[in-house]
Amino acid sequence: MNVGKVCNQACHHCHVEAGPKRTESMPERVADRVLELLAADGGIATLDVTGGAPELNPSFRRLVVEARRLGRRVIDRCNLTILFEPGQDDLAAFLAEHAVAVTASLPCYTADNVERQRGQGVFDKSIRALQRLNALGYGRPDTALRLDLVYNPVGAFLPPAQAELEARYRRELAGAFGITFDRLLTINNMPIKRFAGMLARDGSAEAYQALLVNHFNPATVDDLMCRSLVSVGWDGRLYDCDFNQMLELPLAAPDAGWPRTIWDVDDLRGLDGSPIATGRHCFGCTAGAGSSCGGALIS
């Protein structure tokens, strides 16, 4: 583990890994503690819930309702097909009722590319889910219901310019399916976990790492998400970002008493000014136009 020299600014964005992305799922006591910390720190403006299919977690709706009651913006990182899972018939209406912002992965506007990456039938379900959200007012200019789409490359290359790709998505999705949305967020592929395995099988791991290093852009550093975000794992452990969480790379610890979990802090402002744990994968967030939970960092 390396410890970066850049320090956290005031935390205003809280990512929560609710799952289930794997066998583990956030227990109720973790959700309780997250809500306690939100209530204690008015500086956290956004609760961002992720984890593959966070909506299936029994505490998901309570997290949404209570966070909104506290006046926080809530983002649901939605895989879209969840809207058609058993027991989720009212999910879209629930999200709209509580003005939850939806950030949805759609790696392409064509069926072939999406299904090559996500599996057969995923594109059709994703399109129908977006149409359902549009019908409720999501992605429409006359409502406050935000719908953002997420693109990440299907291979070992950097995304195209975000604005140009967004214009193409708008044209194709509106023309073929009548779908509208607010923004397209482009995210660099991080050389970790499943994508790292693919690179290793192709023998292109070092070439992709070199691509990221050679495209390092210092202009991205000030807006890196790890500077104003804290990521809470399904078990309550704390991380500087979701990628560090996936690698189980915890907060950099200046001493043995440094907070490691949500039960080690009474106020997340105590993390302000702390060092950031970094590794080779961090070049993924600083390459080209940069990459964050909010898309490209440089227009």
- Greater confidence, 80 or 259? 80
pLDDT at 2: 32
pLDDT at 4: 33
Tell whether the model's pLDDT for residue 20 goes beyond 80. Answer: no
What band does 151 get if pLDDT is binned at 50, 70 and 90? very high
Tell whether the model's pLDDT for residue 23 goes beyond 70. Answer: no
pLDDT at 10: 55
pLDDT at 11: 58
User: How far is it, in rounded angstroms, from Cα 130 to Cα 150?
Assistant: 13
Residue 241, C-beta contacts closer than 8 angstroms, at least 6 positions apart: 15, 225, 226, 229, 231, 285
Q: Give tens-digit pLDDT for 120-138.
A: 999 999 999 999 999 999 9
Q: Give tens-digit pLDDT for 105-116.
A: 999 999 998 888
User: How far is it, in rounded angstroms, from Cα 286 to Cα 2?
Assistant: 16
pLDDT at 15: 85
User: How far is it, in rounded angstroms, from Cα 209 to Cα 191?
Assistant: 7
User: How far is it, in rounded angstroms, from Cα 22 to Cα 250?
Assistant: 19
What band does 222 get if pLDDT is binned at 50, 70 and 90? very high
| Mean pLDDT value across the chain | 92
What band does 246 get if pLDDT is binned at 50, 70 and 90? very high
Q: What is the 3-state secondary structure (H, E, C) of 34-76?
A: HHHHHHHCCCCCEEEEECCCHHHCCCHHHHHHHHHHCCCEEEE
Tell whether the model's pLDDT for residue 8 goes beyond 70. Answer: no
pTM of the model: 0.92
Q: Give tens-digit pLDDT for 51-61.
A: 889 999 999 99
Tell whether the model's pLDDT for residue 117 goes beyond 60. Answer: yes
Average pLDDT on 205-224 reads 97
pLDDT at 100: 98
